[in-house]
Amino acid sequence: MFDAFSVKGRYMGEIRVTLPDSSVKVLQEGATVYDLAASIGVGLAKAAIAGKLDGTMVDLASPLREGARVEIVTEKSPEALEIIRHSTSHLMAQAVKALFPNAKVTIGPAIENGFYYDFDVDAPFSPEDLAKIEAKMSELAKAGLKIERQELSKADAIRLFKDMGESYKVEIIEDLDAETVSVYRQGDFVDLCRGPHLPSTAWCKAFKLTSIAGAYWRGDEKRKMLQRIYGTAFADKKELDAYLERLEEAKRRDHRKLGRELDLFSFSDEVGAGFAIWHPKGAMLRTVIEDFERKEHLKRGYDIVVGPQILKTDLWQRSGHYDNYRENMYFTEVDEQSFGVKPMNCLSHMMIYKSQLRSYRDLPFRYFELGTVHRHERAGVLHGLLRVRCFTQDDAHILCTPEQLDSEIKGVIAFVSDVMKIFGFEYEMELSTRPEKSIGSDEDWDRATNALLGALKDTGRPFDINEGDGAFYGPKIDIKLRDCLDRRWQCATIQCDFTLPERFDLTYVDAGGEKKRPVMVHRVILGSIERFIGVLIEHYAGSFPFWLSPVQVVVLTVTDNQLPYARQVVETLRGAGIRVQADFRNEKLGFKIREAQLQKLPCMLVIGDKEVESVTVTPRLRDGNNLEAMSITDFIAYIAKQVENFH
């Protein structure tokens, strides 16, 4: 007799799936993610855009399987934004193909703040083209085109895209190690993609194309230059408008724009791309930060050292930089001997350590250097001060015993925390593990990774794991600060290294008289001084606090009658260590005040007949407020208090 009841207690033709709350749903075999959403409720079915099947993101049309754990993804889900943006990039490609039939499509991923798509076109896109493409996207979105997934054999997919003239897609497929590939169709547009995607183009409701750039195919400078269109997308217009407002604010704060306006630094094609030229006020800003750094390091037991700019190539070969970092280095020749211009400071610091026999009683050694380094960055990634070819690092290397490693790592984390508070930054941490291209034994990498992991856990702060993004010689803790626009910037890093001490035969004598190998911690607090200043400019919008401002006070005269007293004020302030600027030009006072405001100077002292007669100054602050008239001595005390409050 036929029994329709299975061994596991379900009827043939039914499947059971588990929901996030651990409840079980029974559906008919062949049911999809959408069917599950509909079985839970009409509202969920209307809100559903995708699903998560045993932890893998899938389309709504994906069939369910027996025993799977399933989660319905809506626009409010954390994963939704990436799906919305990826689908919108396909919508953009469809619009481009409709308007520019000869365009060839390449790749179009979702990225942190939106999406992009690269195209091979006859002529570069113009801003007017962007407006047309965006309008076409809106038209296609309103059409509500169904987005459908299809599985094809590799051969059939190659044939399909060859017939369409999409040579870039053919190249991608040919490089895939797979027997089948997936494509997505929406109307007359077909694209190669793993998915998942939105159910239809109607879900692309809030998007904006933001910019155009050039991009080499597959990032290879020897391949064709393509046109890249950047855009962003959100679940609703309110979120999009808020993001676009942040973009406008970011433009107003752009450190390249403010750097010119505040006369801090410049770049010159005559000098070369990626090499900043520091003007007096910018150099003063650097000096303030560097002096701060020296004091903070000396307080924490660091020794200041200085290494040469070039070292023999033999050393770079021994360290592994030549094999693993050579494409980022510059080389020269002196007396028929090859030298490498240093991209990092660690080699000199190891040579200092190696210059004497070391005892365990002397460890740890903490060598600190404001070391200028040179790295060959590609022209396409250079970006103001944020990515340059010559920069100064607040670099230090700690050489310690394995037993001291945990406390040294925690000491650096505490150092970072103290400094970020002073500058007003929140920050996040992540542990970056061993990359494919690396040196050292598995044992040493495990020891180094576990040391960093243990210290992170003991801090009690949350952190992420960034697989495969460590340095070639060791894992690292990357610390990303958050600015006032909630952007993340990589600055501080802590790297644990058992490998280079081995390669350079660094030793110390332990309590038993035996030679042992120290551990080396590579670390920066601010990172690149150039990059950090770029971030600071944007964070403060150029309005630096008193302690940091390259010019703290500007002294303005109303007429030449006040010149003798004004000069006396300037000299007194300078003698007190205040960074002061004099504006004694024969210009209208309103013009001079306006210029000082545009320079975002913290404080103005307007010297008129009243101030001369009373031997006082009347401070006018950056926000427009005027303080009571006071003596120069009281004003100096006021400035000292403002500086103390920030630092």
Among the listed residues 118, 191, 395, 444, the single catalytic one is 395
Q: What residues contact residue 266 under an 8 Å CB cut-off, 6+ apart?
A: 259, 260, 276, 277, 279
- CA distances from residue 646 to 137, 422, 434 in whole angstroms, order as listed: 49, 6, 39
Does residue 170 surpass a pLDDT of 90? yes
Q: In terms of CATH, what superfamily is 80-252?
A: Threonyl-trna Synthetase; Chain A, domain 2 (3.30.980.10)
Render pLDDT for 18-67 as a digit per residue (tens, 0 to 9).
999 999 999 999 999 999 999 999 999 999 999 999 999 999 999 999 99
φ/ψ (deg, to 5) at 70: -130, 140
**Residue 237: closest CA among 149, 317, 141, 94:** 141
Cα 27 to the center of its chain, rounded Å: 46
The answer to whether residue 397 is catalytic is yes
Q: In a 3-state reduction of DSSP, which class is residue 264?
A: coil
Among the listed residues 94, 393, 581, 642, the single catalytic one is 393
φ/ψ (deg, to 5) at 463: -155, 160
**Residue 625 in contact with residue 603, Cβ under 8 Å?**
no
**Residue 227: closest CA among 106, 114, 330, 55:** 106
Task: Find the radius of gyration of the CA atoms of the chain.
Answer: 31
Q: Where in the chain is the domain with CATH 3.40.50.800?
A: 553-646
Percent of the chain clearing pLDDT 90 (strictly above): 86
Q: What is the mean pLDDT of the chain?
A: 93
**Residue 395: closest CA among 237, 528, 490, 518:** 528
User: What pLDDT is attached to residue 5?
Assistant: 43
Report which of residues 8 and 544 the model is more confident about.
544
* CA pair distance 184, 192, nearest whole angstrom: 6
Overall fold of domain 271-307+343-540: BirA Bifunctional Protein; domain 2 (3.30.930)
Among the listed residues 349, 476, 523, 539, the single catalytic one is 476
At residue 380 the predicted structure's pLDDT band, cuts being 50, 70 and 90, is: confident
Q: What residues contact residue 414 under an 8 Å CB cut-off, 6+ apart?
A: none
The answer to whether residue 522 is catalytic is yes
Among the listed residues 118, 136, 186, 346, the single catalytic one is 346
At residue 378 the predicted structure's pLDDT band, cuts being 50, 70 and 90, is: confident
Does residue 428 surpass a pLDDT of 60? yes
Render pLDDT for 78-113 as a digit per residue (tens, 0 to 9).
999 999 999 999 999 999 999 999 999 999 999 988
**Residue 616: closest CA among 578, 577, 565, 544:** 565
At residue 482 the predicted structure's pLDDT band, cuts being 50, 70 and 90, is: confident
Q: What is the mean pLDDT of residues 619-630?
A: 91
At residue 504 the predicted structure's pLDDT band, cuts being 50, 70 and 90, is: very high
Q: Where in the chain is the domain with CATH 3.30.980.10?
A: 80-252
CATH of domain 553-646: 3.40.50.800
Q: Where in the chain is the domain with CATH 3.30.930.10?
A: 271-307+343-540
Q: Where in the chain is the domain with CATH 3.10.20.30?
A: 14-74
At residue 1 the predicted structure's pLDDT band, cuts being 50, 70 and 90, is: very low
Start-to-end CA span in the chain (Å): 87
Q: In a 3-state reduction of DSSP, which class is residue 148?
A: strand
Report which of residues 191 and 487 the model is more confident about.
191
Lowest mean pLDDT among 210-224, 303-317, 356-370, 548-562: 210-224
φ/ψ (deg, to 5) at 26: -105, 125
Lowest mean pLDDT among 334-348, 482-496, 512-526, 537-551: 482-496
At residue 647 the predicted structure's pLDDT band, cuts being 50, 70 and 90, is: low
Does residue 219 surpass a pLDDT of 90? no
Supply the pTM of this predicted model: 0.81
Does residue 12 surpass a pLDDT of 60? no
Q: What is the mean pLDDT of residues 301-317?
A: 96
CATH class of this structure's domain 14-74: alpha beta
Does residue 8 surpass a pLDDT of 70? no
Does residue 9 surpass a pLDDT of 60? no
Torsion of CA 495, 500, 502, 508, to 10 degrees: -70
- CA distances from residue 251 to 244, 328, 468, 471 in whole angstroms, order as listed: 11, 30, 33, 33
Among the listed residues 97, 136, 349, 375, the single catalytic one is 375
- CA distances from residue 318 to 58, 443, 475, 488 in whole angstroms, order as listed: 48, 20, 19, 35
**Residue 489 in contact with residue 480, Cβ under 8 Å?**
yes
- Which amino acid type is present at position 360? Y
**Residue 516 in contact with residue 277, Cβ under 8 Å?**
no
Q: What is the mean pLDDT of residues 411-418?
A: 95
Does residue 7 surpass a pLDDT of 80? no
Report which of residues 13 and 532 the model is more confident about.
532
Does residue 3 surpass a pLDDT of 60? no
**Residue 416 in contact with residue 387, Cβ under 8 Å?**
no
The answer to whether residue 476 is catalytic is yes
Does residue 11 surpass a pLDDT of 70? no
Percent of the chain clearing pLDDT 70 (strictly above): 98
The answer to whether residue 393 is catalytic is yes
User: What pLDDT is attached to residue 10?
Assistant: 52
Among the listed residues 522, 531, 539, 592, the single catalytic one is 522
